[in-house]
Amino acid sequence: MTSLKTIKSLLKIAFLKPIDLQMADLVRRAYPDAHQDLILLAALTTKAINDGHVCLDLKQYANKTWLEILQEKHITATEPDLELHSSLPTLEDWITLLPTHIVADSFANITESEKPTLFIRKNTKIYLRRYWDYETNTQIKLRNLNRSSGIKADEQVLNSYFKDNDQREAAKKIIEKKLCLVTGGPGTGKTYTLAKAVALLAQIKLITDTDKTLIVKMVAPTGQAAVRMATSIINAKNAQRQQGVPEESLRLIPESASTIHRLLGSQFNSPYFVHDAKNPIVADMVIVDESSMVDLPLMSKLLDALPDECSLVLVGDTNQLASVEPGRVFKDICSSAAPGKPLERCLANLSTSRRFPAESIIGKLSNLINEGNADSAWTLMKSDNREVKQVSCSELLANSQLLETLVRKHLADFMSQKEPDAVLNAAGNFRILAALRNGPYGVVRLNREVERILGLPVGKQFYDHQLIMINKNTPALNLYNGDIGVILAVDPEGGTNLTAWFIGNDKEPRPFPISLLPEHETAFAMTIHKSQGSEFPYVAIVLPNEDTSPILSRELLYTGVTRVKLDVKNANDNLYLWCSRASFRKAVLTVSERATGLFDNLDDYPKFKSWQVQTSYLPGLS
């Protein structure tokens, strides 16, 4: 059976996607002498990238039958043309059949070949050239940033600014290093520490620099995360003002944040940005919040656009979900900051949570989830407490009375408000978070349930009081993936003159004709992935009932649980979790894995210092 026939059979049972077949066919046409198993490898490599991996690890498939592979993925093999019991090549055989003019495997082949190869192999990992380029560029740029800023923080001033030892050490590294990684869970004071560190750095600049300027850019992966980042910085800045921090230092702390795409300058229908290595941004420091959401290509392009003397601060929670797109960049970067690793002494970890103090049930639950202690986490969740309630998935399907009660209770203010800013503020009180997009426990069905409960038009494209989320970066409108808005009618009774409203950079609502809206979706319910960077006083999480769902993971559950913005003293059923015990246990015990090689695949770093990203990846193609 030829590889293309195998690929088409795998396509029919949804193991592969059309793009995987297209890549295989492209390789077949570009390299007529390619072995059949190399054509299959091309499809599997593209699949790996679409699944969030940076590369294909051959160990995942070597010497296995298709029956074994499909069973691991809980896919029923119904395609009669697929040879289920035939084995794929062994690891040694697969590596042997990879010709170096198609799959480079040495420094010379990678950097000096007249025609750059489409694939690169490092040990058992196979990369598409573009993703090897992104990974190599990222680690070179980060290694080069791992140096002193040339600025010394005064210990006495640090002690006067910070009582928390972790925050003091983090601020010191932010000031004294060109690269700083700040990690910590929700409520550990990451934004507070950033604001104080920037204020302290501003004081130093005012004393030592003749131009007395400090250009700080604050960015996040999504619009919603950027809005929350700006709000947190403003609150921290106001707190410092009350503590007597000089106004001339505070004025250098920015009060706005943007998406990374907005900072770099998105171009319509293009993967490239206005700002790059040849046209860098203007900044002394760039601070990236929610860095766990940043994928490998975007991180590489951001690093390219930094001017030579710009400092970079990456902030995030390594326990959260990795990016939707390929890579687990922030976690890999933080792992490389351990003693003896390439980025040692760059990491600052904040461990004391103010949002979830010691007595908080949600705080304890999130810790048990991170520890992988499924039984204790379940017992705690089922205990008599004021914060968390567990509900059976079957109850959600058979009887939506509880969901109806929650929706009516927490969205009543949203429905009663008329002014755009008031409506958007009220919408942030409650959100349903689902693991899946489709199916009985998915976002699409849950949004229709909310529409029904609130008496809104079910499934209609546009209507009054429709909460929406942008899904596509649209720089021409200054709207970006993750931006949350609402559609309101000038005449609610008649439902006429529908207008979309979003919060702008000036924190004021901005109107948009609905005819101009880019790709978007209703957002009363959203995926847990899409909720990253957001927080809500009340959250309902819906997991699939079956413990075979591949979406279930520890990172997914932790991310959902920690979206709650908790007031412990006034806790009142802030988190509802619809799940079975089996699906909960599967999530807690399953650690998400991604095939990457960040800081693993550059043995001879000095040789690559002058290396440049390739622009051509296939003969005759760019």
Q: Are 136 and 597 in contact (CB under 8 A)?
A: no
Contacts of 24 (CB under 8 A, 6+ apart): 3, 4, 7, 39, 40, 42, 43, 46
In this predicted structure, the answer to whether residue 112 has a pLDDT above a threshold of 70 is no
The one-letter code for the residue type at 607 is K
The pLDDT value recorded for residue 622 is: 32
Higher pLDDT, 352 or 179: 179
Are 329 and 375 found together in one domain?
Answer: no
Please indicate, yes or no, whether residues 200 and 249 belong to a single structural domain of this protein.
yes
Question: Would you call 78 exposed, middle or buried from its count of C-beta atoms within 10 A (0-12, 13-18, 19+)?
Answer: exposed
Domain boundary among 132, 166, 190: 132
Please tell me the total number of residues recorded for the chain in this structure. 622
Determine, yes or no, domain membership for 501: no
In the predicted model, what is the mean pLDDT of residues 471-488?
Answer: 88
Question: Which element (helix H / strand E) includes 426?
Answer: helix 420-427
Residue 582: phi and psi, rounded to 5, are: -65, -45
Provide the residue type at 399 as one letter: N
Which of 585, 615, 560, 599 lies closest to 433 in space, CA to CA?
Answer: 560
Task: Using the CB atoms, write b or e for 412-422: b if 16+ within 10 Å.
Answer: eebbebeebee
Separation between Cα atoms, residue 414 and residue 400, nearest integer Å: 21
Q: Return all residues near 107 (Cβ < 8 A) that are at least 6 apart.
A: 604, 607
Instruction: Indicate whether 418 and 562 sit together in one domain.
Output: yes
Instruction: Check if the beta carbon of residue 278 is closer than 8 Å to that of residue 525.
Output: no
Whole-model pTM: value is 0.88
Same structural domain, 335 and 316: yes
In a domain, 212, yes or no: yes
Residue 342 lies in a domain: yes
Residue 540 lies in a domain: yes
Query: Residue 599: which residues within 8 A CB-CB, separation 6 or more?
Result: 139, 332, 333, 335, 336, 341, 342, 343
If asked whether residues 247 and 161 sit together in one domain, one would say yes
Residues paired with residue 488 on neighbouring β-strands, in sequence order: 499
Dist. CA 479–CA 570, nearest whole Å: 36
Residue 428, in any domain of the structure: yes
pLDDT at 619: 39
Determine the Cα–Cα distance for residues 235 and 27; give it in Å rounded to an integer.
54
| Cα angle 50, 56, 60; round to 5 | 110
Assess whether 318 and 365 both reside in one domain: no
240 and 345 assigned to the same domain: yes
Cβ atoms within 10 A of the Cβ of 325, count? 15
Do the Cβ atoms of 241 and 250 come closer than 8 Å?
yes
Q: Check: CB of residue 190 under 8 Å from CB of residue 220.
A: no
Q: CA torsion angle for 176, 601, 341, 293 (degrees, to 10)?
A: 60
* pLDDT at residue 453 tops 90: yes
27 in Cβ contact with 118 (< 8 Å): yes
Q: Which of 132, 161, 192 is the last residue of a domain?
A: 132
How far from the centroid of its chain's Cα atoms is residue 232's Cα?
Answer: 19
Distance CA 357, CA 305 (A): 39
CB atoms within 10 A of CB 64: 15
**Which of 580, 592, 581, 594 lies closest to 553 in space, CA to CA?**
592
Same domain for 155 and 50: no
Q: Does a structural domain hold residue 603?
A: no
260 shares its domain with 299: yes
- Count of domains forming the chain: 3
Q: What is the pLDDT of residue 211?
A: 65
Q: How far is CA 562 from the centre of its chain?
A: 15
Q: What is the pLDDT of residue 616?
A: 42
- Among the candidates 350, 379, 408, a domain finishes at 350
> The CATH number of the domain where 242 resides is what?
3.40.50.300
519-551 burial: b if 16+ Cβ within 10 Å, else e? ebbbbbbbbbbbbbbbbbbbbbbbbbbebebeb
- pLDDT tens track for 387-445: 999 888 776 666 678 889 999 999 999 999 999 999 999 999 999 999 999 988 899 99
What is the average pLDDT value for the chain, to the nearest integer? 88
Q: Side chain identity at 578, as an amino acid letter?
A: W
Per residue in 258-284, pLDDT (tens digit) is 899 999 998 877 888 999 999 999 999
Range of the domain at 60: 2-132
- Residue 346 and residue 369 in one domain: no
Query: Helix (H, G, I), strand (E, B), or coil: what is residue 433?
Result: strand
**Is 473 a domain residue?**
no
Flag whether 610 is in a domain.
Answer: no
Residue 516 pLDDT: 93
197 pLDDT higher than 80: yes
Give the torsion sign (CA, 274, 280, 286, 292): positive
| pLDDT for position 96 | 87
SS3 annotation, 339-386: CCCCCCCCEEEECCCCCCCCCCHHHHHHHHHHHCCHHHHHHHHHCCCC
Residues 371 and 308 in one domain: no
Q: Which amino acid is located at 73 in the chain? A: K
Do 156 and 73 fall within a single domain?
no
